[in-house]
Amino acid sequence: MMPSDKSVSSAPVFQFTNCWILKNHKLQREDLWVREGTILNPEKLFFDEKRLADVQLDCKGSIVAPGFIDVQINGGFGVDFATATDNVGAGISLVSGKILSHGVTSFCPTLVSSPSSVYHKVLPQISIKNGGFHGAGVLGIHLEGPFISKEKKGAHPEHCLRTFEKEAFQDLLATYGSLEGVRIVTLAPELKGSSEVIQELTKQGIRVSLGHSMANLSQAEEAVQQGATFITHLFNAMLPFHHRDPGIVGLLTSDQIPPGRQVFYSMISDGIHTNPAALRIAHRANPKGLVLVTDAIAGMGLAPGRHTLGQQVVEMDGLNSYIAGTKILSGSTARMDACVRHFKEATGCSVETALEAASLHPAQLLGIEDQKGTLDYDTDADFLLLDDSLHIRATYIAGQQVWRHNAFIL
């Protein structure tokens, strides 16, 4: 039976042909059908609407994969998201436009530990918005600190770090000013009062991540039982793995995780922050939880020199970036597509696994896998065309080409 006219869209249908689609964890030789920014089920189109495609596009043998989702990016191209200016939105827009060429279709702007005054000025200026020709979509804010361990502060300035006062959650609210638009908070679970905070944040749908922490395994397990679901840049800024108490790292194989709960963990696969052997260990221990992040700083995309990361000056030399005058690593300058390629090379994993670590897994972490991170029917048509070596040929958001490599013509 034909549906009523009201339920049938007259918008054009696009059919992407001659491609390998990442679907159900496998590359499959299928076409991709898109209308009004949504991936279509062609059978419904044929049998219910009696329609074919209005436009056919030859993908020239490309891999078609979901757009990358970066849940930890501090800035790039001279922009530091933790800098209190009167036009934070302009910086967000600049970065969101530039990272389209990296295959990133949505992201979480990340702020490192900062004075309360910075949060109060910056956070109200960051809005959740859809991606498009202007740039990648903003999914929400990642607040990395300031409720973290001084012993594992990494590149975070010690004078900005805080502990929870008697009314822990109210203290957090006072520090940030508001939780509107916040999607992830990274904290150290061993801090007194963290239990209340983790539970309250979880109730509000905010993902709690464990990081920059001296927590032992039992403290980490307790945090997960209270609602934490993520680990910030595994191995970096936490107790090193020890066979008698593996610390936060032990969550990857813990038997104390609530049934049905997946603990996700991010890794900076830039060839600097994590040795390839460590990447392999983590991936083999818990492949479904691995989330690739760039942890990119303002220097990404710029020439070597001095840049900022929140309240500190960073010295950048190639892909290496350090707090000026030290050898303390301070975020990355790697692109997401480069992180995906390095991860595949370092672990020997499949193409599908490498791509899902930057798309499906971050979507699952944020609870948006029914919208993004897959090429399932009725999801957002945010996708990439890649060559066999996983270099980006073109980036699409809502079914519209928003970037393409000069040498690739569709």
CB atoms within 10 A of CB 337: 22
pLDDT of the residue at 242: 94
Please determine, for residue 327, whether its predicted confidence score (pLDDT) is greater than 80.
no
Distance of alpha carbon 197 from alpha carbon 356, whole angstroms: 31
Residue 367, SS3 per DSSP = coil
Distance of alpha carbon 209 from alpha carbon 271, whole angstroms: 23
Task: Say if residue 282 carries a ligand binding annotation.
Answer: no
Distance of alpha carbon 363 from alpha carbon 373, whole angstroms: 5
Strands (E) across 244-289 are located at 264-268
Please determine, for residue 314, whether its predicted confidence score (pLDDT) is greater than 60.
yes
What's 116-144 look like in SS3? HHHHHHHHHHCCCECCECCECEECCEEEE
pLDDT of the residue at 307: 78
For 321-325, 332-336, 378-382, which range has the lowest pLDDT when averaged over its residues? 321-325
Task: Say if residue 280 carries a ligand binding annotation.
Answer: no
pLDDT of the residue at 123: 98
Residue 258 identity: P
Structure token digits, residue 193: 């009062």
Please determine, for residue 323, whether its predicted confidence score (pLDDT) is greater than 50.
yes
Task: Say if residue 212 carries a ligand binding annotation.
Answer: yes
pLDDT of the residue at 407: 83
Please determine, for residue 90, whether its predicted confidence score (pLDDT) is greater than 90.
yes
The mean pLDDT value for 197-220 works out to: 98
- Residues 6 or more apart in contact with residue 391 via CB below 8 angstroms: 337, 341, 405
Please determine, for residue 330, whether its predicted confidence score (pLDDT) is greater than 80.
no
pLDDT band at 3 (very low <50, low <70, confident <90, very high): very low
Task: Say if residue 320 carries a ligand binding annotation.
Answer: no
Tell me the longest C-alpha to C-alpha distance in the chain.
72
Task: Say if residue 237 carries a ligand binding annotation.
Answer: yes
From the list 80, 295, 337, 382, the catalytic residue is 295
Please determine, for residue 7, whether its predicted confidence score (pLDDT) is greater than 80.
no
pLDDT band at 273 (very low <50, low <70, confident <90, very high): confident
Task: Say if residue 394 carries a ligand binding annotation.
Answer: no
pLDDT of the residue at 94: 98
Please determine, for residue 199, whether its predicted confidence score (pLDDT) is greater than 70.
yes
Structure token digits, residue 261: 């709960």
The mean pLDDT value for 369-384 works out to: 98
Q: How far is CA 250 from the centre of its chain?
A: 22
Task: List b or e across 156-190, with b for residues whose CB sees 16 or more CB atoms inside 10 angstroms.
Answer: bbeebbbbbeeebbebbeebbbebebbbbbbbbbb
The mean pLDDT value for 335-350 works out to: 97
Residue closest to 351 by CA, chosen among 49, 38, 46, 21: 21
Output 371 or 321, whichever has higher pLDDT. 371
- Please report where in the chains the tokens 């979507």 appear, as a residue: 363
Please determine, for residue 2, whether its predicted confidence score (pLDDT) is greater than 50.
no
pLDDT band at 315 (very low <50, low <70, confident <90, very high): confident
pLDDT of the residue at 55: 97
In order of start, what are the domains of the chain with their CATH numbers?
Answer: 5-66+375-404 (2.30.40.10), 68-366 (3.20.20.140)
φ/ψ region of 57 (left if φ > 0, alpha if ψ in -120 to 50, else beta) reads: beta
Peptide bond connecting 240 to the previous residue in cis, omega within 30 degrees of 0: no
pTM: 0.95
pLDDT of the residue at 409: 78
pLDDT of the residue at 38: 98
Distance of alpha carbon 229 from alpha carbon 20, whole angstroms: 32
What rounded mean pLDDT belongs to the chain?
A: 94
Distance of alpha carbon 378 from alpha carbon 75, whole angstroms: 32
pLDDT of the residue at 331: 76
Please determine, for residue 313, whether its predicted confidence score (pLDDT) is greater than 60.
yes
Strands (E) across 262-391 are located at 264-268, 290-293, 305-309, 312-317, 320-323, 383-386
Residue 52, SS3 per DSSP = coil
Residue closest to 383 by CA, chosen among 369, 368, 400, 366: 400
Task: Say if residue 134 carries a ligand binding annotation.
Answer: no
Contact 382, 358 (CB under 8 A): no
Helices 336-347 and 276-285 pack at an angle, to 10 degrees, of 80
Residue 299, SS3 per DSSP = coil
For 74-78, 137-141, 260-264, 328-332, which range has the lowest pLDDT when averaged over its residues? 328-332
Contact 101, 404 (CB under 8 A): no
pLDDT of the residue at 4: 44
Q: What is the enclosing helix (H) or strand (E) of 17?
A: strand 14-23
pLDDT band at 385 (very low <50, low <70, confident <90, very high): very high
pLDDT of the residue at 229: 98
Strands 14-23 and 55-66: parallel
CB atoms within 10 A of CB 92: 22
CA distances from 219 to 15, 226, 248 (A): 51, 11, 8
pLDDT band at 210 (very low <50, low <70, confident <90, very high): very high
Task: Say if residue 179 carries a ligand binding annotation.
Answer: no
Contact 265, 248 (CB under 8 A): no
Task: Say if residue 174 carries a ligand binding annotation.
Answer: no
The mean pLDDT value for 374-395 works out to: 98
Q: What is the enclosing helix (H) or strand (E) of 327?
A: none
Contact 212, 161 (CB under 8 A): no
Structure token digits, residue 272: 């600097």
Q: 317 an active-site residue?
A: no
Strands (E) across 269-368 are located at 290-293, 305-309, 312-317, 320-323
